[in-house]
Amino acid sequence: MRFTVAIDGPAASGKGTIGRAVAAHFGFAHLDTGLLYRAVGAKAGPEGDPVAAARDLVPEDLHRDDLRSAGAGQAASRVAAIPEVRAALVAFQRSFARREGGAVLDGRDIGTVICPDAEVKLYVIASDGVRARRRWLELSAKGDPITEDEVLADLKARDRRDAEREAAPMRPAKDAVVLDTTEMTIEVAVARALAEVEAKLA
């Protein structure tokens, strides 16, 4: 069976947590596509060639210890705006999406560009303040000294860059189901997502 769940939305909206939960529930493979761009940004570094890094990306690059840092997030947003980088990673993502056994991909352009024919499309959002709080708690738990105000500024900058870029701007697909997790518990958000998938599988 080939079945694709596309989950998009801004950083710290909950899409990654929802994506992992959906994949685990149905036994689907899961790909956090943001890690691809974080890995490219980290591999290229501030002075390197991100296009070459994207073309040379290997699975091992997705397991670097520094990919969840705030700096890696900013680097990902910068390299994701480069059309040649996105083109280099499209084939990998599309192949993953149509693998046998089902797949869940979360990112920013899955439902609009990578998998426009996905069986289920979700667009996960939350207020800026809630997202900043979530990401700050996550980073603080890992010992990152960043402040909550700095996280909020970082998220807003990334959102603006991702929404305004010419190559695959972040926006919901016309047929995506929008989940606003601002006041939802993760259990409720996951249950809503599971229900959408169940309905399509039925």
Closest Cα to residue 123, out of 111, 139, 141, 138? 111
Structure confidence by residue, pLDDT tens digits, 186-198: 999 999 999 999 9
> Is the per-residue pLDDT at 31 higher than 90?
yes
Percent of the chain residues topping a pLDDT of 70:
100
Average pLDDT, the chain: 93
Cα distances (angstroms) measured from residue 116 to each of 11, 65, 119, 193: 21, 32, 9, 18
Residue 135 has pLDDT above 90, yes or no: yes
pLDDT for position 119: 98
Domain ranges in the chain?
Answer: 4-201
Distance CA 138, CA 132 (A): 10
Query: Is pLDDT at 166 greater than 90 in this prediction?
Result: no
Query: What is the model's pLDDT at position 37?
Result: 92
Q: Say what the pLDDT of residue 9 is.
A: 95
In this prediction, residue 91 carries a pLDDT of 84
pLDDT band at 84 (very low <50, low <70, confident <90, very high): very high
3-state SS track over 113-156: HHCCCCCEEEEEECCHHHHHHHHHHHHHHCCCCCCHHHHHHHHH
- As a residue count, the chain comes to 202
Split at pLDDT 50, 70, 90, the class of 182 is very high
Dist CA 117 CA 75 (whole Å): 29
Partners of 6 in beta bridges: 105, 121
CATH superfamily, domain at 4-201:
P-loop containing nucleotide triphosphate hydrolases (3.40.50.300)
pLDDT class of 59 with cuts at 50, 70, 90: confident
- Which residues are annotated binding-site positions for ATP? 9-17
Query: Which positions make up the binding site?
Result: 9-17
pLDDT value of position 77: 86
